[in-house]
Amino acid sequence: MKVGVAKETAAGERRVALVPEALGKLTAAGLEILVETGAGTASAFPDAAYQEAGATIVDTAGLYGGADVVLKVAKPSPEEATRLRSGQAVVGFLQPLIDPGLARTLADRGVTAISLDAIPRTLSRAQTMDALSSQANVGGYKAVLIAANAYPRYFPLLTTAAGTAKPANVLILGIGVAGLQAIGTAKRLGAIVHAYDVRPETREQAESLGAKFVKLKTTIDATGAGGYARELTPEERAAQQAELNEVIGGMDVVITTAQVPGRKPPVLVTAEAVGKMKPGSVLVDMAASALGGNVELSQVGETTNTPNGVTIIAPDNLPASMPAGASAFYARNISALLLGMVKDGALHLDFEDEVTKSTVISHGGAILSDAVRKLLEPAPPAAGGAA
Ligand code: NAD
């Protein structure tokens, strides 16, 4: 079976699905690796490094024409989707719940679509395949570095002959994978770290990394399914907001990471809260996307300077800003997923297996994911409409 590593084409996407050091395990399993020319250049892996690791370098037509399985990071662009053909498989962050139309296109073309963002995250066997976690980890680390770079003072307490610098107060909102990495990184830079989440079990996790957990008077337990948070009720949101506004006003740096699966990220930092922050304070909104973010004033992909001197940064693809490190983790995740689906050197899909069942979105011309099929159903006619 031929496994192809495609060159990413999305704007700003510098990662690559496989790095040279990950090739050995795949070739040992009898797989032949094709790499699209220049696929690893933006993440500091030249074609020669893949060749030395046993891959064949091919052009775009050779990659899509020759590979049985195409490995990607970002979902295929409309043009890439038209290059994929019946019987071929594509693996990557396909985002079927955000872009169900792509799943439809791939199913119609007879492509087997395997989505890394659908890995069952609570299954311990799937931890090595959990690319959402590995990339969130990179994001949490980079968010702190970006904040420290934009912050006009020191993060650590520093005593020098020229005086003493006070340590920065850093608040991390959302203590999932990215938030925990952000706590650890800000702590290592010497900041006083505070953290808050609506899932009570995160308190111990944050404290074990040296953060002070922000305890609001309003008790909210928003633990949802699969370890994720549920959406707050409007009353909970209002109570949380009023208290958080006060806390945010006293912080020098706030990094937000809060997500609720399948929903628009909750707004945690309102324009009013930003108005209470001191000049020079920095906000990094990791949840910002086209859907919106955790910071009311953030603009995805932009840095905004407010009239009261606060810098709001809303990066749109943090893992891509550390492409070699992020790709190395991603390569291990995608290799583990692929190898779990290979038998005797060929793709063998066992739909009794929980990972296969969750991640294979389309196969044999059909959409297999119930959630995606539901999103594609035509909307029911509006009640009370003309017969
Ligand atoms: P996520 O990206 O979905 O959300 C980030 C954090 O935001 C979560 O901790 C969530 O509780 C928090 N949040 C949501 N709404 C909020 C609000 N209104 N106010 C404050 N915080 C809010 O989370 P994630 O990083 O993908 O992790 C989700 C869960 O999956 C966690 O429980 C994590 O430990 C778990 N997980 C488990 C495994 C595993 O067992 N293998 C691997 C990865 C993640």
DSSP string, 122-186: T-GGGGGG-HHHHHHHHHHHHHHHHHHHH-SS-SS-EEETTEEEPPPEEEEE--SHHHHHHHHHH
Q: Check if 181 is active-site.
A: no
- Given a contact cutoff of 8 angstroms between Cβ atoms, the answer to whether 60 and 77 are in contact is no
**Closest Cα to atom 23 of ligand 1:** 176
Distance from C-alpha of 363 to C-alpha of 181, rounded to nearest angstrom: 36
- Given a contact cutoff of 8 angstroms between Cβ atoms, the answer to whether 116 and 95 are in contact is no
Percent of the chain with pLDDT over 70: 98
Ligand 1 nearest atom to the CA of residue 177, by list position: 25
Write down the catalytic residue from 104, 121, 188, 237: 121
Distance 284 CA to ligand 1 centre (A): 18
Write down the catalytic residue from 47, 228, 316, 373: 228
Write down the catalytic residue from 15, 43, 130, 252: 130
Per-chain mean pLDDT for the chain: 94
Which of 5-19, 21-35, 173-187, 205-219 has the least mean pLDDT?
Answer: 205-219
- Taking CA atoms, 387 is separated from 208, 302, 384, in Å, by 62, 48, 8
With a 6 A CB cut-off, is 228 part of the ligand 1 pocket?
Answer: yes
Calculate mean pLDDT across residues 234-248.
Answer: 89
Q: Check if 15 is active-site.
A: no
pLDDT tier at 306, thresholds 50, 70, 90: very high
- CB count within 10 Å of CB 134 equals 23
Q: Check if 59 is active-site.
A: no
The residue among 350, 258, 246 whose CA lies nearest residue 295 is: 258
Calculate mean pLDDT across residues 127-155.
Answer: 97
What the block records as the tokens of 20 is: 């040279």
Q: Check if 121 is active-site.
A: yes
Please report the pLDDT score of residue 275 as a whole number: 96
Calculate mean pLDDT across residues 70-80.
Answer: 97
pLDDT tier at 387, thresholds 50, 70, 90: very low
